[in-house]
Structure 1
């Protein structure tokens, strides 16, 4: 009897902290500078789009730029596993990471504008460490890992120096990658069940890839298509998220 009472007493603190919660929020993220380049610059069957030579600016042939900024929405389901640790499954959708940049092909006068539409859907397991209570605020750190599905539209290269409609369009693609994130933020309890979270986070979403396939080349002399090998660009974002957490 005494043993049962002792075990029950030990279990009470654990039960008090073993809460389950849902979290919903939004974020604003900005991508780091990046660029499309060949997956294999020496590929020949089909040939690489850029190749291994230097470009007009002296750098490796590529299309340098960025995926801009996007709003993001997220939904999480988590559980407090100790008084200071939370484990969460987090799904985030980033709808408008559209690429804009410049290529550096040689013997190509004028601007070489590059554009594409892109979106990313990620799912991660995240562990949060709550660092204590400071007034009403509760700072925390988070670290997560999982996968991201990055989908890019056809990529368009515009060459106005070669003609008003001169362009090359390569096929888009979808790629599922390992992804990870790190976060730091603060929580503000509103009630016994409702908490507001604000965090800054760094997210590595792997890479964005175009598929091997026909590049459609439009010039003043006409239109033709040639098969080209895949290209890729790294995708990293940083930003601020705000969310509400409801315990039940």
Structure 2
């Protein structure tokens, strides 16, 4: 009988614990479910420092490609999102599309380090675009200022051409891309916000065959540092 009572007591404690845990989970779910949702459209403008880091192998010269170079460009795009508000923060999932100007880079060719470089690759990245699914967390500092941070995952495309006057190649690619960043939000009226932020965008790695692959390859790792200004309009 004592064993039976002991088992029953333990069972009741377990059931109570499970029920308590479920209650907490329900409370948390209710907090998120109670948030107000407002859709928005957004116009983005960026100034970028686009970096290309080169590698790969030049078969005729039997050396490794090397060097990196940074070029500045500008871009524009837009986003569609949803703002969900809670007591002390808000969450914004959004879908973003961006286009950026061409960037031009000069990296090392023959004969390769540590010898003095005689030939250089001229590399050009054109038709640069990206599309990402982002998630941002906004935290208020005051009624007129918010801080935010977050990032996104998606894809980036580019057409890359390289030429050192001896070997050359080109390739159009679609790569996995990701970004992370943060910034400041300034409310302007009830339905408009100004957004000033920073983004780091990684556009992946591209291997360009030189002369169809018979003379090796040129590998470009591409990323950019971006200052972004955006105008966000909430749809009633």
Question: Compared with structure 1, are the counterparts of its residues 143 and 50 closer, same or farther at alpha carbon in structure 2 (3 Å cutoff)?
Answer: farther
1:153-172 equivalences in 2 (<5 Å): 153=161, 155-157=162-164, 167-172=165-170
Among 197, 207, 210, the alignment partner of 2:208 is 210
Matching residue of 1:117: 124
Matching residue of 1:201: 199
Equivalent position SS for 2:141:
coil
RMSD over aligned CA atoms reads 2.7
Structure 2, unaligned runs of 5 or more? 1-29
Alignment partners' CA distance in 1, 2:78 and 2:93: 14
Among 215, 227, 230, the alignment partner of 2:217 is 230
TM-score scaled by structure 2?
0.75
Residue 81 (structure 1) aligned with residue 84 (structure 2): yes
CA deviation after TM superposition for structure 1 residue 168, in Å = 1.5
TM-score scaled by structure 1?
0.71
Alignment partners' CA distance in 2, 1:50 and 1:80: 56
Matching residue of 2:37: 18
**Structure 1 contact 152–209 (Cα < 8 Å) conserved:** no
Q: How many residues align?
A: 200
CA deviation after TM superposition for structure 1 residue 109, in Å = 7.3
CA deviation after TM superposition for structure 1 residue 212, in Å = 5.4
Matching residue of 2:8: none
Among 176, 184, 188, the alignment partner of 2:182 is 184
Q: Higher Cα Rg: structure 1 or 2?
A: 2
Question: Compared with structure 1, are the counterparts of its residues 99 and 85 closer, same or farther at alpha carbon in structure 2 (3 Å cutoff)?
Answer: same
Matching residue of 1:64: 67
Alignment partners' CA distance in 1, 2:60 and 2:173: 19
Alignment partners' CA distance in 1, 2:133 and 2:61: 37
Alignment partners' CA distance in 2, 1:106 and 1:130: 48
CA deviation after TM superposition for structure 1 residue 114, in Å = 1.7
In terms of fraction of residues, the more strand-rich structure is 2
Question: Compared with structure 1, are the counterparts of its residues 180 and 86 closer, same or farther at alpha carbon in structure 2 (3 Å cutoff)?
Answer: same
CA deviation after TM superposition for structure 1 residue 210, in Å = 1.4
Alignment partners' CA distance in 1, 2:226 and 2:66: 24
Alignment partners' CA distance in 2, 1:197 and 1:145: 20
Alignment partners' CA distance in 2, 1:50 and 1:196: 53
Structure 1, unaligned runs of 5 or more? 1-9, 42-47, 56-60, 158-166, 216-226
Deviations 1:153-186 (A, max 9, x none): 2x111xxxxxxxxx21411101211110001101
In terms of fraction of residues, the more helix-rich structure is 2
